[in-house]
Amino acid sequence: MKKIIIANWKANPATLKEAKDLFLREAEAAEKFHTQTVICPPFVYLEELAKLARGAVKLGAQDIFWENPTMLKNFGVSHVLAGHSDRRYLLGETDEIINKKIKAALEAGITPVLLVGERNRGDDRREVLEEQLTKDLANLLTSQVRKLLICYEPVWAISTAPGAEADTPESALETISIIRNFLNSKFQTLDSSFLYGGSVTEKNVADFLSNSEIGGAVVGGASLRKEEFTKILEVASSLT
Ligand code: PGA
């Protein structure tokens, strides 16, 4: 299966002009390497960037409000992040809210990208993940869970965390198998795709994506560096 790369720009770049330039350059790279790419810019740029989206690049949103999910769909948004640690821990988003957002996205025909992960290195991963997955996916049908992309993103590995460094591929794979087994026991979601996020760079992306168990990556900081992101897309396109 083709790998998917999801760029999470967070609150960057600072101007619409820079956002358009970055989007066009990254779209060009995605087309060149035929890499499945989703770019999630800040909300304020969605409308303008929707006009530039084409081919291999899809437009993602960083958030969704459950009372009017079709608004995003009308902008041409195909994916939406849910459960990112910035919202969970900085903005106090609860699992119940994440669950509402996932349901709303599915209702609107938008693919939710659910991010789960423990906060500190050494936390009990299994306990944290099983609790997040149970609550975030509450009352969803197996057929709905299959539509999600689920990303293991340990919060301590996110590049903005103090002393952050990426998880090792071995440890990420171990965690992904915890997630997979748990979901299989609850939903029989054998064919779900699992992604990794947290300090993915041009240097380590192949180590993660060369494993068939890892279907793609969520990339934050490196998605703002055009040359580096281009390299990531190139590596992703060479792996299946
Ligand atoms: P990072 O961010 O790639 O800069 O670690 C990932 C994220 O926050 O989703």
State the closest ligand 1 atom to the C-alpha of 166, by its place in the atom list counted from 1.
Answer: 5
Rounded to an integer, the average pLDDT of 27-33 is 96
Angle between helical axes of 125-136 and 169-187 (0-180°, round to 10)? 40
pTM recorded for the entire structure: 0.96
Rounded to an integer, the average pLDDT of 75-104 is 96
CA angle 69, 74, 80 (to 5 degrees): 50
- Please tell me the predicted confidence (pLDDT) of residue 189: 65
Proportion of the chain above pLDDT 70, given as a percent: 98
- Please tell me the predicted confidence (pLDDT) of residue 108: 95
**Could you tell me the pLDDT band of residue 187, with boundaries at 50, 70 and 90?**
confident
- Range with the lowest mean pLDDT among 128-132, 143-147, 219-223? 143-147
State the closest ligand 1 atom to the C-alpha of 197, by its place in the atom list counted from 1.
Answer: 6
- Please tell me the predicted confidence (pLDDT) of residue 86: 95
Calpha distance 152→214 (Å, rounded): 10
Q: Which of 84, 93, 118, 202 is catalytic?
A: 84
Rounded to an integer, the average pLDDT of 9-24 is 98
Q: Is residue 203 a contact partner of residue 182, using CB atoms and an 8 Å limit?
A: no
Ligand 1 center–CA 171 separation, angstroms: 17
Mean pLDDT of all residues in the chain? Answer: 95
Q: What is the DSSP string of 135-202?
A: HHTTT--HHHHTT-EEEE--GGGSTTSTT--PPPHHHHHHHHHHHHHHHHHHH--TT-EEEEESS--T
* Residue 12, CA distances (Å) to 22, 39, 143, 211, 221 in order: 10, 12, 35, 30, 10
- Please tell me the predicted confidence (pLDDT) of residue 190: 64
- Please tell me the predicted confidence (pLDDT) of residue 55: 80
- Please tell me the predicted confidence (pLDDT) of residue 69: 84
Rounded to an integer, the average pLDDT of 61-68 is 92
> Probe ligand 1: pick from 199, 202, 223, max atoms within 8 Å of CB?
199
Calpha distance 174→233 (Å, rounded): 25
The DSSP H or E segment spanning 114 is strand 111-116
- Tens of pLDDT, residues 158-184: 999 988 999 999 999 999 999 999 999
**Could you tell me the pLDDT band of residue 119, with boundaries at 50, 70 and 90?**
very high
Q: Which of 26, 93, 153, 202 is catalytic?
A: 153
- Please tell me the predicted confidence (pLDDT) of residue 208: 98
- Please tell me the predicted confidence (pLDDT) of residue 21: 98
